[in-house]
Every structure is written in C-alpha cells, then in structure tokens.
C-alpha cells in the first residue's frame, strides 16, 4: 500500500512519523531490557519493533522524492527515543546500588533507612581524608528519590553514588509497588 497515494504528503509524513515513534520507542525499551537480562520482553519488543520498521522504511523507499518523508523519519526517531526513555523512567524497573560515604557517624542514617524498610550494610573504610563510613543499599529504582532525600536530610555532605544492579538475591527489599515492578517480577520469573 502506498500511503502517499491514499492520504497525500501530510498523511505520508504522519504515518512515517507515527511508525518511527513506535518502533524507536520499542527499540529503546528493548535495549534497556537487554541490558537488564530480560529474556522475555526484549525479544518480544524486538520482533514488533522490526515489523513496524519494515513497514515504515517501505513507505520511505516508495516515496524517495518527498522531503517530508525524511523529516518525518528523523522526527519520529527523535521523539521515539524520548518517549522510550520516559516510559522506562515511569516504569522504574530494576534495582540500583546506592553507596553513601560519610565522615560522620552514620548510625542515624542507617536507622532511618532501616525504618523505611531498606536493607543497609555499613562498614568502616579509609578515604583520602581519613576514616569514613561506607553504607551500601540495593533498592528498587522507584525508591531512589526517597533514599536520596533521607541521605540529604541526615548527611547533606555525604558522597553518594548510584549504579545499576543486574541481579540480586537474598536481600532485604522494600515491597515493589509500581505496575512496572509487578510486571517485571512476573516477566523475570518467565521460562
């Protein structure tokens, strides 16, 4: 089917834009799920992504003389990337390791995190400025803001680093509440 013949140049542009928006959004999510080792959603997203891409590229190839097709292709790519990242941020899927380094006694911080149902490991360490306290907690991604607020309130000068965790087990985790976490838990247990 030639979308240009059926709907004109603006219809063609809108079709290509929407198709790219869809396939790039799925592609962005697929990459994120591949990085997290999800063996169910990543291939499923990839399958649908490629199907949409084939339809979109077919329209561009059929209409190489229409500049709107190129603009729609690029625009759909840009917006699809933004939408994919936005969806992933809202889903807040996965785990993060939060490292807190402070020169002060961190008993109050550890107690506050434990009271909020975050498992915390504390250990003494030595930094460039001398003795420090290192706290480590592994949290659901959706809890990052709450944890950083607790750290900022109790130890505003503490060094904080955050990194993705591919897998964790046997820890103390606050119950996941978002739809993304519930979906991730179901999919992660897959075949």
- Give the per-residue pLDDT at 89: 78
Section 96-118 average pLDDT: 94
**Mean of the per-residue pLDDT values of the chain:** 87
Give dist(CA 77, CA 72) in Å, integer.
8
- Give the per-residue pLDDT at 140: 87
More confidently predicted of 151 and 173: 151
Do both 118 and 47 map to the same domain? no
**Which of 62, 91, 120 finishes a domain?**
91
The strand pairing partners of 164, in sequence order, are 96
Token pair, residue 131, equals 């003795």
Q: Is residue 159 part of a domain?
A: yes
- Give the per-residue pLDDT at 36: 75
Alpha helices in the chain (DSSP H): 3-35, 41-62, 67-91, 107-115, 144-154, 179-188
Residue 42 has pLDDT above 50, yes or no: yes
- Give the per-residue pLDDT at 168: 73
Do both 99 and 81 map to the same domain? no
- Give the per-residue pLDDT at 52: 95
**Which of 39, 66, 91 finishes a domain?**
91
Q: How confident is the model at residue 9 (pLDDT cuts 50, 70, 90)?
A: confident
Tell me which residue range forms the domain holding 70. Answer: 3-91
Q: Please tell me whether residue 121 adopts helix, strand or coil conformation.
A: strand
- Tokens 């838990």 sit at which residue? 185
- Domain count for the chain, please give it: 2
Do both 21 and 84 map to the same domain? yes
Determine contact, residues 101/109, Cβ cutoff 8 Å: no
- Give the per-residue pLDDT at 191: 47
Angle, alpha carbons 22-25-29 (nearest 5°) = 140
Give dist(CA 23, CA 54) in Å, integer.
10
Section 147-172 average pLDDT: 88
**Which of 31, 58, 91 finishes a domain?**
91
Lowest mean pLDDT among 47-61, 71-85, 129-143, 167-181: 167-181
Section 153-178 average pLDDT: 81
């Amino acid at each position: 089917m030639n979308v240009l013949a059926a709907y004109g140049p603006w219809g063609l542009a809108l079709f290509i834009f929407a198709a790219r928006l869809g396939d790039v959004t799925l592609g962005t999510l697929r990459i994120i799920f591949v990085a997290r080792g999800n063996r169910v959603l990543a291939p499923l997203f990839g399958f649908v992504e490629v199907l949409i891409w084939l339809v979109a590229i077919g329209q561009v190839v059929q209409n190489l003389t229409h500049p709107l097709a190129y603009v729609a292709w690029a625009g759909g790519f840009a917006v699809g990337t933004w939408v994919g990242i936005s969806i992933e941020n809202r889903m807040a899927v996965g785990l993060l390791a939060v490292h807190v380094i402070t020169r002060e006694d961190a008993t109050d911080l550890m107690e506050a995190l434990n009271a909020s149902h975050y498992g915390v490991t504390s250990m003494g360490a030595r930094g460039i400025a001398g003795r420090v306290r290192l706290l480590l907690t592994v949290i659901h991604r959706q809890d990052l803001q709450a944890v950083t607020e607790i750290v900022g309130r109790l130890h505003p000068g503490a060094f904080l680093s955050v990194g993705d965790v591919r897998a964790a087990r046997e820890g103390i985790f606050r119950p996941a509440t978002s739809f993304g976490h519930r979906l991730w838990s179901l999919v992660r247990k897959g075949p």
